Amino acid sequence: MKEEHGGEVITLSMGDDRTRAATLEALAMGADAAYVVNDDLEGVDALATSKVLAAALRRIDGFQLILCGEMSLDGLSSQVGPRVAELLGLPQVAYARNLTLEDGALRAERDLEDVDEVVEVELPAVVSVVREINEPRIPSLMNIMRAKRKPTVEWNAAALGLSAEEIREASSVEVLKVEAPLVERRRIIIEAETVEEAAERLADAILEGGLEG
């Protein structure tokens, strides 16, 4: 969209020092500048996160289109985009898998699982997109080197007129721990002279392991 219509692309993230790696990747892929809210905010919920991002967006100002991912891979709530839109008083579209800009209006094709929906919205607006919207670019070595020279601004909560304590108090959900279940693989290797023999040994291994059905 930038190449077709012009403009500037910036990234905005809330995180910690580890966020810099993701920010550099976005800059290498074509973003022009980056903003990071870096403070002691680990574990806050979608509501608190949205308040921080909305405060940062008010500080940046001048935007026409705010793009969010469908969901984060830890919380899976799909709430941040819609909450940011509500806090900023902007129209919002969720689950967009295709976007086109025509005469100042944004047309979005939404993936609603059992049906596709096409909607139009005036800008500025907030849009949450699904993974299928595009194939991410692979940045070249030259663009990776250039990314380190692009503008990157870091704010703490105080710079946005907030405090870490205030943000944590805004959380209505307390996240105690996020972890993936431990999956142990049996690592059974089937060796045989023929396909038929391999199939028979595989069937025996499945039955012995109680994995049938």
Domain-embedded: residue 138? yes
Do 110 and 98 form a contact (C-beta atoms < 8 A)?
no
**Could you tell me the CATH number of the domain that includes residue 53?**
3.40.50.620
- Residues 120 and 199 occupy one common structural domain: no
SS3 164: helix
The answer on 53 and 27 residing in a single domain is yes
58 lies in a domain?
yes
H/E element holding 46?
Answer: helix 46-60
Same domain for 151 and 85? yes
Whether residues 9 and 97 fall in one domain: yes
Within a domain: 74: yes
Same domain, 99 and 135: yes
Residues of the domain holding 63: 2-170
14 and 92 co-located in one domain:
yes
Tens digits of pLDDT across the chain (213 residues): 888 888 899 999 888 777 888 888 899 998 999 999 887 777 778 888 888 899 999 999 889 999 998 877 666 678 888 999 999 999 999 899 999 988 878 899 988 878 889 999 998 999 999 888 888 888 888 898 899 889 888 898 888 888 877 788 777 777 677 777 777 777 778 888 899 898 998 888 888 876 655
- Quick one: how many helices (H) and strands (E) in the chain? 7, 8
Q: Would you say 84 and 51 are in contact if contact means Cβ atoms under 8 Å apart?
A: no
Report if residue 210 sits inside a domain: yes
**pLDDT for the residue numbered 212:** 55
Same domain as 58, residue 118: yes
> Is there a domain that residue 164 lies in?
yes
Q: Which residues contact 189 (CB under 8 A, 6 or more apart)?
A: none
Q: Are residues 37 and 139 in the same domain?
A: yes
Asked if residue 175 is part of any domain, the answer here is no
In the chain, the number of structural domains is 2
CA 149 to chain centre: 24
Q: Are residues 117 and 204 in the same domain?
A: no
User: What is the reported pTM?
Assistant: 0.72
Rg (CA), the chain: 23
| Whether 108 and 152 share a structural domain | yes
